Amino acid sequence: MKLIIDDAHMDRIKRVYEFYPVDGVTTNPTILAESGRAPYDVLKEIRRFIGDGAQLHVQAVSRDAKGMVEEARRITSELGGNTFVKVPSLPEGFKAMKKLHAEGILITATAVYTPMQAFLAAKCGASYAAPYINRIDNMGYNGIQVAKHIHDIFRNNGLKTEVLAASFKNSQQLLELCEYGVGASTVAPDVIEGLVKNTAITAAVEDFIKDFEGLAGIGKTMANC
Ligand code: G3P
């Protein structure tokens, strides 16, 4: 499972990149708005920081297919290869996806709430379909189950599209999809950092350090004892 950062704040992206094995960055219009910066300024800075090898996902905001296609061309020309254009999974979006796929532009089908949205997007050529786990839960359905259904539908129909699960609020949601082997999950920095925020872990490591210092001296390590 690829692990992607769902954020557009450079300081938070840099912090997560320093410590964790992440594969790229996703954004959406709300996340860009929260950054308070001009869209292409922040997106180009993210691209420069993560490099050409990492995935960057950027959403189109037009209501019609023609506008989505125009946005996708600009997004990929500004931000380079390995940039996925997030296209909403509704009729105008499917129309845009077919055109973009024919042009070789990478697509992430977004705003996925049902398995059949994802199936249609996959048949239109999307590389990823992004079910919104927590938002589905909040509607009284089971977001994890929806993501698993989508994963199974792709595999059972010989589709190459992968799940890119989004909208996580806790570690358990991420664990379940990691265990199931979905293609990718995009997660806010606080949820990524929460994966190892556990006093039992830090206490265990502190005990080892104290025991070693008791043996070899304060400040000593295996490099200088
Ligand atoms: O872009 C989709 C996803 O990032 C939404 O997450 O936390 O706003 O439900 P959230």
Atom of ligand 1 nearest to the CA of 27: 1
* Predicted structure pTM score: 0.95
14-25 pLDDT per residue, tens = 999 999 999 999
If we measure between CA atoms, which residue out of 182, 171, 121 comes closest to residue 147?
182
What is the percentage of the chain residues whose pLDDT exceeds 90? 99
Residue entry with tokens 């129909």: 157
72-98 pLDDT per residue, tens = 999 999 999 899 999 999 999 999 999
| Alpha carbons 60 and 215: distance in angstroms, whole number | 60
Q: Whose CA is nearest to atom 6 of ligand 1?
A: 167
From 167, 173, 185, the mutation candidate for ligand 1 (largest count of ligand atoms within 8 A of CB) is 167
If we measure between CA atoms, which residue out of 121, 122, 146 comes closest to residue 133?
146
For the chain, give the mean pLDDT: 97
148 is catalytic: no
Residue 135: CB within 6 Å of ligand 1?
A: yes
Which residues of the chain register pLDDT less than 70? none
38-49 pLDDT per residue, tens = 999 999 999 999
Residue-level pLDDT at 81: 87
